[in-house]
Amino acid sequence: MPTPYHPPVKRSVEIAGHKTSISLEPIFWDMLCEAALAESVPINALVARIDVERLEVDPLPGLAGAIRVWLAARLLR
């Protein structure tokens, strides 16, 4: 099994018609892909939903951090 300790990888996503990039470690990207599959939504749609949730928080977290927190919270459910 490969090590989970890998630097972030930059990937492109589209949120509300705008392209942006996020840098996530491969383990978090894999978890995000699994979550999108489990919820039967495209990755872009799931990232957009997480983005909407993070925009309601003050102070505003970065998108990659919000994704990591969302994934951790999902594991705790």
**H/E segment holding residue 24:** strand 18-24
In a domain? residue 49? yes
Q: If you write DSSP's letter for every residue of 39-61 in order, what string do you get? A: TT--HHHHHHHHHHHHTTSSSPP
Does the pTM surpass 0.95? The reply is no
Q: In terms of residue numbers, what domain contains 27?
A: 9-76
User: How many alpha carbons fall within 13 Å on the CB side of residue 17?
Assistant: 0
The pair of structure tokens assigned to 6 is: 């890998």
Residue 2 maps to a domain: no
Count up the domains in the chain and report the number.
1
Q: Cis omega (within 30 of 0) on the bond before 61?
A: no
pLDDT digits (tens, 9 = 90+) for 20-58: 999 999 999 999 999 999 999 999 999 999 999 999 999
Residue in the block written with tokens 């705008």: 18
Kindly tell me if the per-residue pLDDT of 16 is higher than 90: no
More confident position, 72 or 77? 72
